[in-house]
Amino acid sequence: MAKNLYVGNLSYSVTDEELNQLFSQFGQVDSARVIIDRDSGRSKGFGFVEMADDNEAQAAIDALNGKENNGRVINVNEAKPRSEDRGGFRPRGDHGGKRF
């Protein structure tokens, strides 16, 4: 079963290909994606890597979590599954009579 990894605190210059290369030294990478802000077109500073093998994914976590990459100490851990309720803004309290 494939394991999805969260990679945080990435340098804003890191590309999908660089992320793939970083993780491929530990095993087969099925996908590597840096998350891009829709409005600005810039990296949000985090991404996701999907690896085919759980042992290889764990090796990548062990080797890369807390290590420097492009001048930043990155965070690597198993990604939490997306919830059905994606959260978002829910107004509370008095909003000066405004209706949302």
pTM of the model: 0.80
Counts for the chain of helices (H) and strands (E), in that order: 2, 6
Question: Residue 100 falls within a domain, yes or no?
Answer: no
Mean pLDDT of 16-37: 98
- Residue 68 and residue 73: Cα distance in Å, rounded? 4
* Whether residue 29 has pLDDT greater than 50: yes
Is 70 part of any domain?
Answer: yes
Domain tally for the chain? 1
Domain-located, residue 84: no
The answer to whether residue 40 sits within a structural domain is yes
**pLDDT surpassing 60 at residue 87:** no
**Worst-scoring range by mean pLDDT, 4-8, 13-17, 59-63, 77-81?**
77-81
Containing domain of residue 74, as a range?
3-78
Token reading at 93: 């309290």
> In the prediction, which pLDDT does 70 show?
95
Is the CB of residue 74 less than 8 Å from the CB of residue 44?
no
Domain-embedded: residue 30: yes
Confidence of residue 82 (pLDDT cuts 50, 70, 90): confident
Supply the CATH number for residue 43's domain: 3.30.70.330
